[in-house]
Amino acid sequence: MNLKNLIVLLLLLCPIAIFAKVLHVSPTGNDANPGTVEEPFCTIQGAVNKLQAGDICLIHNGTYRENINIKNSGNAVAPIIIQSAKGENPVISGLNILNLRWKATDKKGIFVADYNSSGFEQLFLDGKPLLEARWPNVPRDKNGDWDFFSPKMWAAVDSIGNNYGIVKDTDLASTGWNVTGATAILNVCHQFFVWTRTVEGHSAGSNSFNYPKNLGNSVKAEDESGAKLKFDDDRYYLIGKKEFLDAPGEWFYDSSNKQLFVCMPEGKTPQKALLEVKTRNYSLTATANASYITVDGITFFGTAFKFGKDYNSRSSNIVFMNNTVLYSSWTEYFSMPKEDVHEKCDRNYPMIDADNAIVLNNIFAYGAMSALYISGFSNLIENNLFHDFNYNSTLGFPPLQVSKPWEALIGKAGKATVRNNTIYNSGGIALQVAQADNDVFMNDMYNVYRSCWGGNKDVSALYAQNTFCHGTRLHHNWVHEGYAGTPPHQWGGGMGIRGDDKTTGLTIDHNVIWNIGSAGIELKNPDNPTPDMANRACSNTIFQHSKYNKVKSGMIVETHRNMCNQYSSVVNNLSETIYGHWFARPIETLADYSHNATGKVVESLLENPLSFDFRPKATATDVIDKGKVFQDLTDCQFGSAPDIGAYERGDSIYRIPGRREVKASFPIVPNGAIVSADRDALMWRPAYNAVSHVVFFGNDANKLVNSGKFTGEKNVFTLPKLIAGQKYFWRVDATMADGSVVNGDVWNFNVSQ
């Protein structure tokens, strides 16, 4: 083929890419400009209006306070790309600056200004959120930030006299307020939801108020254990009254008189501070069927984004990568009745309804609701950090929600891959995954159900349920540090991993679960199942569980009711106990119940669980080579048979779940640790996208010796013989696909005498 014909062919194959535009946006620009780097647009929307398939919008430093709607789509060879300019950090903000005429009131630190708003939601002061005035006040943490996970943010009811629809609280009576008409956020005895309702029937000095008894079917006469609900552990807080404005950092909006009140921190006045008001719940949206759009390297502040309309009108091939999303949701309005839906209720958080979407290497931090809801087919959620979400613990808004367990979504979502994410500091659960054939692995989830007060005890960190989850696998995850703040229960207090009511076709394998308030794993099944409904629990390690349970249930595989789980398998698990129901009911009929290690103090069999080394000890003869090869779930085998539990001693790969950094991280042993002279190996979390690593080791930090190359996922460095009393140093450098090297940090450990 001659050159002329080759050029013609290339033009026919890639016409859009050849003529793609690069449009620039800067706050110093003008939307009448051509969008060049010398003459940029002023708004992102101005550039987006002109984007066609293959075009790139480069956003330069600045804060963009606008509603951006993407109407056009890219295609498979020429996506539309919206990204930060190289080395810059543009911010899309949902906030507008408040420039008001403030006046001091007769109360110290409280200022007032006229402000006409029809939907006031949230204020920020110098980039930090203020709070709507409430009772009781939210305490501050050691850094001076709001401590939403403190029990003191909730009012505790009296020990007697409470019932459905009635709150009794002596502390409220002592305030002397009449709170009729206030808004109550109710964390009441219902097991897993929070509601917002209007206070009724209260008078000044009274210790009792009413709320509507329309909280739904989850308020039942009995809990899961058969115990009657007592309502004596209810919690609540109140907003919506000017009397509650008494703490620095609070605000109150008087909608009748159109006045905004702010209680400023000591020494500050509104005139000398940056006050911003949230005005845009969604600052970036796209038409329902938008496709092949990439958003890369942008900070979202005080706002969210939305792709797709719903599960029936989905986008496709959306890539959301390398972004930071802060304070994406803020609301006090939960589970409102349909006839009283509040304009701010339950909706303002990031949403992606799309197929083949990729959410990659982002940071999501701080929000009252979910960090991300994503639903559709074949989506990838990889290497993200999610932290500090779901302040009120309601089950419907975990930090990461992958679809919903609704019949309406059957055949419209599933096959998601969720891997290498870190999720921590959740008021309720960490991750809910729904619909069929999902693959959830190598995620680190901890510090969960931190706002589960007032009876919110029926929770788990990693949650799936119903026949809709068939074909889903939950594996090689760490789940730890989760105690619901409820009184001791026979069964509640927060579980690790749960396949809830009517779960079928769920596989739970090679997970490590520890420091959990209730059972490590619970696995249910329909009554009288068919063989295709079988579940599997294989090679899990569970210890330090059931803090709030009289019976220490490491794993519960429901077998007590109508032959449920009769076709399921429970194999190679390391757990102190495995029961067929709560209250130590024994396992009944299972297809395969074998090669499990029970009756042992699990942590005593592990190499060093305090340092995250969950390999079986070399001396753990009850575990090593005592498992069996099981279906497609056996990772590897060293010796005559697989080891029991999540890790195989002798494996060259030690899986460390969680988000990977640009360089090697998470040293095992930890930096500065003291080890015994018989310590055998060092491990690390691989760098993100590295193809290999090189370990440098020695007793002089300045003269480390190249001690071996480790390709792919291999990350176990066998130590030489250690000398007692010696200090050692080590570093792990990562090599990328392009040959570049990212040097690691220098870590150290000491050998005990």
| Structural domain count, the chain | 4
If asked whether residues 623 and 675 sit together in one domain, one would say no
If asked whether residues 244 and 227 sit together in one domain, one would say yes
pLDDT at 230: 73
d(C-alpha 672, C-alpha 670), whole Å: 6
Average pLDDT over residues 703-726: 97
- 190 has a pLDDT exceeding 80: no
Residue span of the structural domain in which 61 resides? 18-89
Residue in 400, 402, 466 with CA at minimum distance from that of residue 429:
400
Final residue belonging to a domain, choices 227, 251, 277: 277
Q: How many CB atoms lie within 10 A of CB 171?
A: 13
Cα→Cα distances 399→138, 148, 191, 429, 750, Å: 21, 15, 19, 8, 38
Q: For residue 327, name the pLDDT band (cuts at 50, 70, 90).
A: very high
pLDDT at 217: 77
If asked whether residues 523 and 652 sit together in one domain, one would say yes
Domain holding 736: CATH number? 2.60.40.1220
Q: For residue 12, name the pLDDT band (cuts at 50, 70, 90).
A: very low
Q: pLDDT tens digits for 642-673? A: 999 999 999 999 999 999 999 999 999 999 99
Q: pLDDT tens digits for 540-569? A: 999 999 988 889 999 999 999 899 999 999
Q: Give the CA radius of gyration of the chain.
A: 28
**Which has the minimum average pLDDT: 22-36, 65-79, 106-120, 518-532?**
106-120
Q: pLDDT tens digits for 333-369? A: 888 776 665 555 556 899 999 999 999 999 999 999 9
If asked whether residues 646 and 705 sit together in one domain, one would say no
pLDDT at 8: 46
Is residue 174 classed as helix, strand or coil in its secondary structure? helix
Residue in 707, 650, 653 with CA at minimum distance from that of residue 685:
653
Average pLDDT over residues 250-264: 95
Residue type, 351: M
Q: Does the residue 218 lie in any domain?
A: yes
Q: Does the residue 413 lie in any domain?
A: no
Average pLDDT over residues 319-323: 98
Contact 240, 183 (CB under 8 A): yes
Q: How many CB atoms lie within 10 A of CB 93?
A: 23
Compute the mean pLDDT over every residue in the chain, rounded to the nearest whole number: 93
Q: Which secondary-structure segment (H or E) carries 570?
A: strand 569-571
Q: Does the residue 531 lie in any domain?
A: yes
pLDDT at 573: 98
pLDDT at 457: 78
If asked whether residues 78 and 151 sit together in one domain, one would say no
Final residue belonging to a domain, choices 89, 119, 138: 89
pLDDT at 16: 45
Final residue belonging to a domain, choices 600, 626, 658: 658
Residue type, 321: M
Token digits of residue 699 = 């007793």
d(C-alpha 516, C-alpha 543), whole Å: 8
Q: For residue 456, name the pLDDT band (cuts at 50, 70, 90).
A: confident
If asked whether residues 716 and 588 sit together in one domain, one would say no
- 696 has a pLDDT exceeding 70: yes
Q: Does the residue 440 lie in any domain?
A: no
Average pLDDT over residues 470-474: 98
If asked whether residues 678 and 595 sit together in one domain, one would say no
Cα→Cα distances 745→288, 687, 695, 731, Å: 45, 12, 11, 6
If asked whether residues 61 and 128 sit together in one domain, one would say no
Cα→Cα distances 230→167, 195, 455, Å: 12, 18, 10
Residue in 281, 311, 419 with CA at minimum distance from that of residue 373:
311
Average pLDDT over residues 9-17: 47
User: What are the helix (H) ranges across 447-577?
Assistant: none
pLDDT at 371: 98
Q: Does the residue 160 lie in any domain?
A: yes
pLDDT at 11: 44
Classify 645 in phi/psi space as left (phi over 0), alpha (psi -120 to 50) or beta: left
